[in-house]
């Protein structure tokens, strides 16, 4: 039997650069879920776009054959693609925040999708049915809304509803959940899986997350540097990986700390009844208390909007609390004693400064002799070569930039480092390296840290104690091992269940 989709030796390049996809092979059988796993820059997104005929004009396909339902589609012109797309091949883009037209209601956009898929005048029933099929509980209500009135998860469902409107044979989903919280991610993935089973739709799932692939896919293809380096049944690829790169990816998944939590030592940071009400009346943080021991790592977990970043900003004195206190060694926090590492290493470093100058910036305030030697020592601590000091941030990768941000935070030898989502903008392999660095710094220099993340697995890989936040309050706290083993709050259980790849 011929497979639904077969790709042989596909090569795509942008301009004169090294090809983004270099001779990739892939097959998708009818009714299968195939996951393509890879880092950013591995070519997986370019592959997805090539299969939907959505490559930008700057890309040229220089070789390879794509067959769909037995017909060659690699040489198709735009008119030919339009006959396929929406009816037989559907595409769900990465970021639901920007993929819907903000000026059109859901009804108008969905009607357009249905019309293009072959229903000339979609009636109310057809529209509501399309939304009901993607698990939207109240379709009539949602139809009249604009995209900004919907949450990220609902927007992704609407996009999925539009993609499935034409009952396609193949659905290509390009990182459909990477912009969503873990709990929302789970519901959207459940839905995609359900569609595959119910309608027999084949699904090509592009993801950077091996856990997602392990949970959802029948077959997994691992991509790196434009090539598929390993392909096979999900259980075999993840259970007995053959390619070195697959093993590296598997080893990079965050693992909770093992061993019992160290006894609670001398408290360093004491947060009591912290509360923040913003001028618009929104209560972001509502009575948060916890304490952190010297040389300890404490984790704060919660979905976006739970108030965890607001807590971080109050501890670093970037914003004033409405009520409550933050005490470091029993006294209010003095400048420079608490340092901050933010989520996005692409914006947290001044693009015009050299790395050496960036790292030395906090030293200027505290003084200290021979800054150049200190910078060299700090670079060594975060495992960067000394010549990096002369470079600009734009010459560094995301992981290297985050190392620079950590070195800058370490520079004034602070009592505490607050890390707000330090790895969520990074690839799995880089993420594992940064988490290892954090563990090492704690052992080598007794660094105390507060780690904030939406991902329970990330926090558990570094922190021996954690607190779970929801709607501005702490719903559960305790030693990490205990919380993972026997979560008390139902929200913590949802968070745990939502971590991809736990079945492995």
Partner 1 sequence: MRFARRLGVLPSALVLLAAAVAALAPGLFSTADPVRGDLGERLLPPGAGHLFGTDELGRDLFSRVVHGSAASLQAAAIAVGIAVLTGAMIGLVAGTAGGRLDGLIMRGVEVLLAVPSFLLVLVVVAVLGPGTREVAVGVGVSAAAVFARVMRAEVVRVRGSAYVEAAAVSGTGRAATLLTHVLPNASGPLAALATLELGNAVLTVASLGFLGFGALPPAPEWGSLISAGRPYLASAWWLTTVPGLVIVAVVLAVNHLGHVLRTRSERR
Residue from 236, 240, 190 nearest 215 by CA: 190
Kindly give the residue spans of alpha helices, DSSP state H, lying in 122-255. Answer: 124-132, 139-143, 152-164, 182-199, 210-216, 234-239, 244-252
Q: How many CB atoms lie within 10 A of CB 461?
A: 25
CB of 3 to partner 1, least distance (A): 43
CB of 387 to partner 1, least distance (A): 22
Q: Which is nearer to partner 1, 4 or 333 (CB)?
A: 333
Q: Which is nearer to partner 1, 282 or 364 (CB)?
A: 364
CB of 359 to partner 1, least distance (A): 10
CB of 352 to partner 1, least distance (A): 5
CB of 78 to partner 1, least distance (A): 23
Q: Which is nearer to partner 1, 175 or 421 (CB)?
A: 421
> Taking a C-beta distance cutoff of 8 angstroms, is the pair 232, 200 a contact?
no
CB of 443 to partner 1, least distance (A): 25
Q: How many CA atoms lie within 13 A of 384 on its CB side?
A: 29
- How buried is residue 67: exposed, middle or buried, by Cβ count under 10 Å (0-12/13-18/19+)? middle
Q: Which is nearer to partner 1, 151 or 366 (CB)?
A: 366
**Residues near 340 by beta carbon (within 8 Å), at least 6 away in sequence:** 312, 316, 318, 409, 417, 418, 420
Q: Which is nearer to partner 1, 32 or 309 (CB)?
A: 309
Q: Which is nearer to partner 1, 238 or 338 (CB)?
A: 338
Q: Which is nearer to partner 1, 227 or 408 (CB)?
A: 408
Pairwise CA distance, residues 176 & 188, whole Å = 8
CB of 401 to partner 1, least distance (A): 11
Distances (CA, A) of 266 to 59, 193, 261, 328: 59, 49, 15, 12
DSSP result, 234-258: HHHHHHS--SHHHHHHHHHS--PPP
> Taking a C-beta distance cutoff of 8 angstroms, is the pair 161, 81 a contact?
no
CB of 349 to partner 1, least distance (A): 6
Q: Which is nearer to partner 1, 151 or 397 (CB)?
A: 397
> Taking a C-beta distance cutoff of 8 angstroms, is the pair 487, 478 a contact?
no
Q: Which residues bind partner 1 (CB under 8 A)?
A: 316, 318, 335-336, 338-340, 342, 344, 347-352, 361-362, 364-366, 405, 408, 411-412
Any bridge partners for residue 255, and if so which? none
Pairwise CA distance, residues 128 & 119, whole Å = 14
């Amino acid at each position: 039997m011929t497979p639904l989709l077969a790709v042989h030796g596909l090569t795509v390049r942008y301009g004169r650069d090294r090809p983004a996809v270099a001779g990739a092979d892939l097959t998708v059988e009818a009714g299968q879920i195939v996951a393509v796993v890879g880092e950013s820059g591995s070519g997986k997104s370019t592959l997805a776009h090539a299969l939907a005929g959505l490559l930008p004009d700057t890309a040229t396909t220089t070789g390879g054959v794509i067959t769909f339902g037995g017909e060659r589609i690699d040489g198709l012109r735009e008119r030919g693609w339009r006959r396929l797309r929406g009816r037989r091949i559907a595409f769900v883009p990465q970021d639901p925040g920007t993929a819907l037209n903000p000026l059109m209601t859901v009804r108008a956009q969905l009607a357009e999708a249905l019309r293009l898929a072959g229903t000339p005048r979609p009636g109310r029933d057809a529209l509501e049915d399309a939304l009901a099929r993607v698990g939207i509980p109240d379709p009539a209500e949602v139809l009249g809304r604009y995209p900004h009135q919907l949450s990220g998860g609902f927007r992704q469902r609407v996009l999925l509803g539009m993609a499935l409107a034409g009952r396609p044979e193949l659905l290509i989903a390009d990182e459909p959940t990477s912009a969503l919280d873990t709990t929302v991610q789970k519901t959207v993935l459940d839905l995609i899986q359900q569609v595959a089973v119910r309608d027999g739709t084949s699904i090509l799932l592009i993801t950077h997350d091996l856990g997602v692939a392990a949970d959802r896919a029948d077959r997994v293809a691992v991509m790196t540097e434009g090539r598929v380096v390993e392909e096979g049944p999900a259980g075999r690829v993840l259970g007995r990986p053959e390619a070195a790169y697959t093993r590296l990816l598997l080893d990079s998944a965050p693992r909770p700390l093992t061993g019992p939590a160290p006894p609670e030592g001398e408290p360093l940071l004491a947060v009591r009844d912290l509360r923040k009400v913003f001028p618009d009346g929104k209560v972001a943080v509502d009575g948060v208390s916890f304490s952190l021991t010297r040389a300890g790592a404490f984790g704060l977990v919660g979905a976006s909007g739970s108030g965890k970043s607001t807590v971080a900003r109050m501890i670093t004195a970037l914003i004033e609390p409405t009520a409550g206190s933050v005490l470091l060694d029993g006294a209010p926090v003095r400048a420079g004693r608490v340092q901050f590492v933010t989520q996005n290493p692409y914006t947290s470093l001044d693009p015009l400064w050299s790395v050496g100058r960036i790292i030395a910036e906090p030293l200027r305030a505290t003084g200290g002799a021979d800054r150049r030697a200190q910078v060299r020592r700090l670079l060594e601590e975060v495992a960067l070569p000394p010549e990096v000091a002369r470079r600009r941030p734009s010459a560094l990768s995301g992981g290297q930039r985050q190392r620079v941000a950590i070195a800058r935070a370490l520079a004034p030898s602070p009592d505490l480092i607050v890390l707000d989502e330090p790895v969520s903008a990074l690839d799995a392999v880089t993420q594992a390296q940064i988490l290892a660095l954090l563990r090492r710094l704690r052992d080598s220099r007794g660094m105390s840290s507060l780690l904030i993340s939406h991902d329970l697995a990330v926090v558990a890989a570094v922190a021996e104690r954690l607190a779970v936040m929801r709607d501005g309050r702490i719903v559960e706290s305790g030693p990490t091992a205990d919380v993972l083993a026997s979560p008390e709050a139902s929200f913590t259980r949802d968070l745990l269940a939502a971590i991809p790849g736990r079945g492995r």
